[in-house]
Structure 1
């Protein structure tokens, strides 16, 4: 996203925040999954506990990390810990929100990750790129905008593998026939809440509020509500 557009959005959002409520924090709406609904409910409670209101807006998901790093948004609702490497203005609230698995979907059962000649990853979720940074891949990496495009490339045999987030696969394509491919769990990951560095003083308060909600059983209640007992 060009910087002048980011700054324009920053001005508009800041004006909106100050005109409505001085303790309003603005985040982009994530993809609609049970995990996202759980995170929104939990963070609304945590922010309310410390005297703040969480406000969700529609914002281009592809640009949301850059916008949060620039301060256009007040942070990110849930991201993997490694995003701070590329977006240093984002500070992690050290409370794991939920666990998920990074999957490798491949078109052969016996071939290894290192044997594949091509992979499809999703641009707006850094989990796959984070794995590639740690486990270098020597084939072609095709970056697409969404999981549907990844699965289409696999079905059309235009790539030999795809790195997927398990909860996106189960939510966005619950009826996708996975039997034609071999699925491998590459690693387990955790999602954390992030705030822009200008809100650094909120982190101890937020952490304490989230731990309190956990001790009170609210976290477990919300996970049960959204059927996340396995995450």
Structure 2
């Protein structure tokens, strides 16, 4: 996004902010926006305006040692609590088993590998570096959902939405968007 803003003559500073409070801060105007978040945030955070060009997409995967099991079949499940995709999915697809929330992917994978939980619901690019080990251990993967990620700006910067959309579409058409996705493994 810094390249898109730079093309518009705008210098941006990325602020490292507590993930749990970043959306609230952006909605209140303390932050100018959110770099990349899933769609549908404007229902909960009405002051955020989505740039309608997806930055990238990801898969939400169910991983377990069970070959033909579905999410409702799992007696226990672990999710990564600091990213909303899994929790949002569970709101739309109610889960009746025991739910554990952890703050790191390594803890999530350790619980699964030690068979302390039946399954994990995790974003694909977080487990990609571990896929070979997981497959060798007999872990099965099922993609449950694919999700686009968008840039959001606070309503005070709504006037930037058309220009940012145009720049991002140019990046997409020229292949720059794909180059950046590959560079950052998205």
Same fold at TM > 0.5: yes
Higher relative contact order (CA 8 A, sep 6+): 2
Answering whether residue 132 of structure 2 is matched by residue 143 of structure 1, we say no
Answering whether residue 134 of structure 2 is matched by residue 177 of structure 1, we say yes
Coordinate RMSD, CA, aligned: 2.0
Q: Which secondary structure state, in structure 2, belongs to the residue aligned with residue 65 of structure 1?
A: helix
Q: Deviations over 1:15-38 (max 9, x none)?
A: xxxxxxxxxxxxxxxxxxxxxxxx
- CA–CA distance in structure 2, aligned partners of residues 112 and 225 of structure 1: 34
Task: Give structure 2 stretches of 5+ with no counterpart.
Answer: none
Partner residue, 1:15: none
After superposition, where does 1:41-120 map in structure 2 within 5 Å? 43-120=1-78
Give the TM-score normalised by structure 2. Answer: 0.88
- CA–CA distance in structure 2, aligned partners of residues 120 and 202 of structure 1: 39
- CA–CA distance in structure 2, aligned partners of residues 71 and 149 of structure 1: 34
Q: Which secondary structure state, in structure 2, belongs to the residue aligned with residue 54 of structure 1?
A: coil
Say how many residue pairs are matched: 185
Give the TM-score normalised by structure 1. Answer: 0.72
Q: Which secondary structure state, in structure 2, belongs to the residue aligned with residue 188 of structure 1?
A: strand
Task: List 4+ stretches of structure 1 deviating above 3 A.
Answer: 173-176, 223-228
Task: Give structure 1 stretches of 5+ with no counterpart.
Answer: 1-42
- CA–CA distance in structure 2, aligned partners of residues 148 and 162 of structure 1: 12
Q: Is the 8 A contact 1:122 1:147 kept in 2?
A: yes
Q: Deviations over 1:147-189 (max 9, x none)?
A: 1221122123222111111111124x46643433211111211
